[in-house]
Structure formats: structure tokens, C-alpha cells
Amino acid sequence: MMGFCSFLLLLLWGAGAQAQDPHIQRLAQELQSREQGIRSQAARSLGQVGEAQSVLLLRQALPGERSAAVRLEMVRALRNIAFLRYPGYPEALRVLQEESSDGVEADELVRLRATEALWEAGKKDLLDPVPFLRRNLGDRSQRLRLAAVEMLRKLGTPSTIDALGQAALDQAQPETVRLKAIEALGAAAQVDLGPVGRQVQEDNIEMARRLGTQPLEPASSLAARHQLQIRYLSALLREPRASSTLALRAVKSIGQVKDRSAVPVLREVIANHRDEAVRLQATKVLSHVLARQYE
């Protein structure tokens, strides 16, 4: 109810402001032009004006706009408003969330650009993009699913591990998507940079203890994240119908994580897996994991 009231206030305010601003009024008229080029330019200009009524006009025009090229310009305008935190940017983010969904937007490229804008907003701490990226793992376009996996990998926050792990285990996903999700699970461990990186982490924890503050990333948090990664990768390796390609990628990702919680599943793979290449890779990874304690 509060959200509806807020939107209604924005609607009323925007309408009043539009009547007082000849430039905005002209752009509103151009958004209704029969010429696609004029509508595109009007959308770009509204993104540069960056007023709250710009968001209102773009939101009103999007559902009825038949041209995907013009809708793409509207998404770019909303992205610019959000990126520069112009007035009305929270509402711009809400419209982008709608446009990133295949239940609302039919065009693949428009959905992709809206999703990228949300990911950028997440990097600027304007919102949490994980729920929208998780949703897009079910997009009807494989391109959008792969893009969602890549954005989750680059985001690299602890909340991305569950989304990637579930995609890796989802047998309804194409194998290409599952492979990328498995690879991303291993890549998320790269915050551990070996002996030097771990020493920096330990120094950070010790300094935080002396100052009475919280460390940037507590050792317990990092360990829990690595164990969660291993649990998903282990479940994949224990899946009877998983292809050798998926299993080999899972073993390699375990080698990137290098957490001792992987020792049991690696021993199982060495003893039981049907594919020699997977067994050999597991043997190498097990050696590296066991040697890590002596680094």
C-alpha cells in the first residue's frame, strides 16, 4: 500500500512538474511520435535530463512501445539515471527490474541490458542484484542464463554461492550453463591468493582485533564459504547421471577452492569414478589439497 501511495505521489508530482517544464513536455510529446528515430532521441534526452518525471514518462511509454530498439534506448536512459543517481533513480531501478524479466520484456537484448544495469547498480551498493540474477537463471534464453552466471561470478559475494550451486546441480539446465556455474563456483575461491594472500588476511584480522573493529572478511566466514562451495561440488560429483565433462570441471573447481573438506569426495572419485581422466584429475587435486597445509 505504501509503495502504491509513493508511486501515486510521484505520478501527481511528475504530472505537475511536466506542465511547468516546456523541455520535458516536448520530450513527452516526442515519445509519442510516429518516427522511431524521434522516439529514440527523446528517450536518450530524458536519460540526460535525469529528472523524476523522466522516469515516469519512460515507465509509461515502455509497455506500449513496439520497437525493441526504442525500448533499448529507454533502458539505457533508465540505467543512466540510476548510475548517476539522478532524482527518481530508485524508481528507475524498479523499472529496470521489470525490464530484466522475460515475463515482461520479450526482447533478449533489452533484458540483457536491463540486467547489466542492475548488476552495475549492485556494485555501487544501490541494491542487491542476486535475486534478479537468480531469477534470470530460469530465463528462456540460454544467453541470458549464461550472462547471469557470469555476473554472479564477477559479483563474488557470499550470497552468490547458493545461486551458482543450485544452477550447477539443476538437471533441467543445459550442460553449457551447468559447466559455467561449476567453473564460477571454483573462481569464487580466488580471494585466497596462496601463502602471501592468507598472510594479508591474517594481518587484517589481527589489526582489526587490536583496533576493536570487524575484519574485512573474518576467517570463519571465508572458511564457511569454501565449505559451501565444496558441498555443492561434492553433490555434483556424487550425482549418478552427471557427465564426465561436468565431473571433470567440478574436480578442477575443487582444486581452485583447495579446502580440506573436499578430501572425502576426492577419495571417492579416485576409487569409484568410471572415467580415468576424472580419476587422474582428482588424484592431482587431492595432492594439492593435502599439500596446502604445509604452505
What domain count does the chain have? 1
**What is the residue range of 284's domain?**
155-295
What pLDDT, on a 0 to 100 scale, did the predictor assign at position 201? 46
Each residue's pLDDT tens digit, 16-64: 444 457 789 899 999 999 999 999 999 999 999 888 999 999 999 999 9
What pLDDT, on a 0 to 100 scale, did the predictor assign at position 224? 75
What pLDDT, on a 0 to 100 scale, did the predictor assign at position 217? 46
What pLDDT, on a 0 to 100 scale, did the predictor assign at position 21? 73
Domain membership of residue 227 (yes or no) is yes
Domain membership of residue 193 (yes or no) is yes
Provide the b/e sequence for 68-84 (b: ≥16 CB within 10 Å): eebbbbbbbbbbbbbbe
CA distance 65 to 34: 11
DSSP SS3 for 65: coil
Residues 6+ apart with CB under 8 A from 98: 104, 105
Domain membership of residue 213 (yes or no) is yes
* Band (225; pLDDT cuts 50, 70, 90): confident
- Per the prediction, the chain carries an average pLDDT of 85
Domain membership of residue 101 (yes or no) is no
Domain membership of residue 16 (yes or no) is no
What pLDDT, on a 0 to 100 scale, did the predictor assign at position 291? 87
What pLDDT, on a 0 to 100 scale, did the predictor assign at position 213? 54
What pLDDT, on a 0 to 100 scale, did the predictor assign at position 157? 80
Domain membership of residue 203 (yes or no) is yes
Each residue's pLDDT tens digit, 250-289: 999 999 998 999 999 999 999 999 999 999 999 999 999 9
DSSP collapsed to 3 states, 182-210: HHHHHHCCCCCCHHHHHHHHHHHHHHHHH
What pLDDT, on a 0 to 100 scale, did the predictor assign at position 2? 42
- Percentage of the chain beyond pLDDT 70 is 80
What pLDDT, on a 0 to 100 scale, did the predictor assign at position 203? 54
The answer to whether the CB of 279 falls within 8 A of the CB of 265 is no
CA distance 283 to 228: 22
Asked if the model's pLDDT at residue 194 lies above 50, the reply is no
Domain membership of residue 18 (yes or no) is no
Domain membership of residue 259 (yes or no) is yes
Mean pLDDT of 156-180: 94
Each residue's pLDDT tens digit, 81-101: 999 999 999 999 999 999 999
| Neighbour tally for 202: CB within 10 Å | 12
| Neighbour tally for 276: CB within 10 Å | 9
The answer to whether the CB of 43 falls within 8 A of the CB of 77 is yes
* pTM for this prediction: 0.78
Residues 6+ apart with CB under 8 A from 236: 168, 169, 182, 242, 246, 247, 250
What pLDDT, on a 0 to 100 scale, did the predictor assign at position 223? 64
Asked if the model's pLDDT at residue 4 lies above 90, the reply is no
Mean pLDDT of 142-160: 92
Mean pLDDT of 128-139: 95
